[in-house]
Chain A
Amino acid sequence: MLWYVGRRVGMSVVMLALTSVLIFVVLRVLPGDPVTTLVGQTEGIDASQVAQMRHSLGLDRPLIVQYGSWVAGLFSGHFGMSYFSQQPVQTLMGGRIVPTVELTLAALLIAIVIAVPTAIYAAMHPRGIVDRAATAFASLGMSVPSFLAALALIIVFAVKLRWLPTRGYVSIFSDPVQNLKLIVMPAAALAFTACAPILRFLRGSLGEASEAPYIRTAEGKGMLRPTAIRKHATPNALIPTLTIVGMTVGRLLGGVVIIEYIFSWPGLGTLIVDAVFKRDYAVLQTSILFAAAAFIFTTLVVDLLYGVLDPRLKASTAESAA
């Protein structure tokens, strides 16, 4: 068992390393010299100043060395120097991680809390009103980009009703009520798009599990069918749904960027968008790697959870007595 865990962790590490290479290649190697882009519009800069700028940013070293020093820096907390703001990347990123994590987790929580009970109830009463409504909702949710969901919420709650503010951030520790008012729209917008795939998959998975023979066994013991589905089908259906939840985290990490930008949420997302506008590759490199790392980590956790939750996978020496 430990061997399996170790192997799986090792695979994730390799994945992360390869991803870092990919990011580096895409950002640094392919587009060419970032300095030219940086000084592109500025007039009156001569060659020696360009060379000096290049040197100060460490861009005149061989690529392998640049990559190596980047990666080494990651371990020691030095993520490089922003091309624009004269600040170390880790400083720019540091204060923004918490708001992004808050938002992502809030959205995930809302999505799960809505999707799971709804799917279960819908499966317990198939083709009923809840089932049909849930299916339609899921179909809609998968077709709505997060920014449209955000806009809809803003129109209703900020423009028309004027109940909620559209920008700002306050830590949950300093002012929980205000934090809640500020987080509810962005989290809800994100949750809307995350909820749909989970709901759909779980409902489908439950539908399949409802046809399983052990449901009939449960009915044979005197259980009513909806109860049998709730008690017996759900654990079986939830296990494969874990994978979908993992994938949803990946989508959330992408969507959070857009949502943060819309609501001026001071997280990594707004940092990334700004960095894209300014072509600040140094910031982009590490931030994107962080996001990918979060995703890879989530996938790892899901895989390991499988081993824990599914009794068939628990490495048990099967003692079979004939």
Chain B
Amino acid sequence: MSTTSVAETPAATPREDVAALPRTQHLLSRLIRRPLGVISLAVLVLLVISAIFAPLIAPHSPDTISVIDRFHGPSSAHWFGTDELGRDLLSRLLYGGRIALGISFGAAAISTILGVLWGFFAAQAGGLLDELLMRTVDVVMAIPVILFALVLVAAFGSHLPTLILIIGLLLTPASARLARSAVLAEIRSDYYRAAVALGIPRVRILFGELLPNAAPVIIARTALAAADAMIIEASLSFIGLGVPPPSASWGTLVKDGYAQIFHALYYVIFPGAVILLAIWALNTLGDQLQELLDPRASR
């Protein structure tokens, strides 16, 4: 009779059986193995750290005016040069990072939290309420984001907390849509139905099980939202409707630099490059995370 049985059917892992989406730590370890993932993460960490420790790293105070030192190009004393008031550009950039990154992350956090609540609630409720909530999303998204931002700034001003709130609210609908479809997918899974059948209150299921499973998708979206937030804030600051003086974000620095474009090119290039770098890093991080989550990603 036959001896060894060799054939093994490949183990099927149906999504419905087990909460199969990778948990966050697992995701992180996989991210590190991809070159773009590492680079974008490293860049972000670098930017965040330099922003947090700006007071310690900055060679000068960003506000020190020194008329004799105006428009010095990059030198050993001033790595990025000085501006029209003799202020050290590197220091201004470091401090500006606190504002730019602060607004970007703050707005992204707001949009994620509100969007997730909105989307979860809609998906969970279903029926007319779901329809209503999603139509609201459509209506809000009918107005191009930057225009809506301008309108809200006109109405409510642009103090820092207001700005964070405005941008956060503007990015919420997109997060809501994503959160809703992520939740819908989970609601159709067996483990959800099992939990409901066991009598676990919906809210607990929501936060205990659905959220951790949808977390990777939501984290990816948050990174992209942060990138969008930075684009909005930088654009607003550039035309003078963003961060109000005396604070200066990177966008404000580009604006100042643009005014001096015939005196000093580096003044506009450095902040511009940093903005580009930050947005690129956030976008790439978000993309890499999304690719990791998409089972079809083979390219």
Contacts and interface: CB of A to CB of B under 8 A. Distances in A.
Direct touch of chains A and B (CB < 8 A): yes
Contacts of B240: 277
B154 A23 contact: no
A277 B158 CA distance: 11
Given A15-B139, A27-B151, A284-B151, A151 B268 contact: yes
Contact of B235 (A26, A147, A279): A147
Contact of A254 (B147, B254, B279): B147
A195 interface: no
B188 interface: no
B154 A279 contact: yes
A250 interface: yes
Interface stretch (B2-10, B108-116, B199-207, B257-265): B257-265
B276 interface: yes
A291 B144 contact: yes
Nearest to B150: A276
A288 B139 contact: no
A26 B152 contact: yes
Nearest to A126: B299
A186 interface: no
Contacts of B234: 145, 147-148
A301 interface: no
A142 B227 CA distance: 10
A148 B276 contact: yes
A272 interface: yes
A272 B150 contact: yes
A192 interface: no
Interface in A228-266: 250-251, 253-255, 257-258, 261-262
B284 interface: yes
A253 B143 CA distance: 9
Contact of B241 (A15, A155, A276): A276
Interface residues of B, number: 43
A31 B254 CA distance: 30
Contacts of A16: 142
Interface in B260-298: 261-262, 265, 268-269, 272, 275-276, 279-280, 283-284, 287
Contacts of B141: 250
A154 interface: yes
A27 B156 CA distance: 9
A145 B154 contact: no
A139 to B, nearest CB: 7
Nearest to A148: B272
B146 A254 contact: yes
Interface of B (DSSP majority class): helix
Nearest to B241: A276
A182 interface: no
Given A277-B241, A295-B142, A139 B156 contact: no
A62 B255 CA distance: 41
Main secondary structure of the interface of A (DSSP, over half): helix
Interface string A8-46: 000000011011001100110011000000000000000
Contacts of B150: 257, 272-273, 276, 284
Given A139-B284, A253-B147, A272-B147, A159 B261 contact: yes
B239 A291 contact: no
A33 B157 CA distance: 14
A309 interface: no
A205 interface: no
A296 B152 CA distance: 20
Nearest to A144: B276
Nearest to A249: B144
Given A272-B150, A275-B154, A145 B144 contact: no
A146 interface: yes
Contacts of B145: 251, 254
A284 B238 contact: no
Contacts of B154: 27, 275-276, 279, 281, 284
Given A139-B283, A147-B238, A292 B142 contact: yes
27 contacts: A15-B138, A18-B139, A19-B142, A19-B143, A22-B143, A23-B143, A144-B276, A145-B234, A145-B235, A147-B234, A148-B254, A148-B272, A155-B265, A251-B144, A253-B144, A253-B147, A254-B145, A257-B147, A258-B235, A262-B239, A276-B241, A291-B143, A291-B147, A292-B143, A292-B144, A295-B142, A299-B142
The 8 closest A-B pairs by CB, nearest first: A254-B146, A254-B144, A143-B280, A31-B155, A143-B279, A276-B154, A253-B144, A145-B231
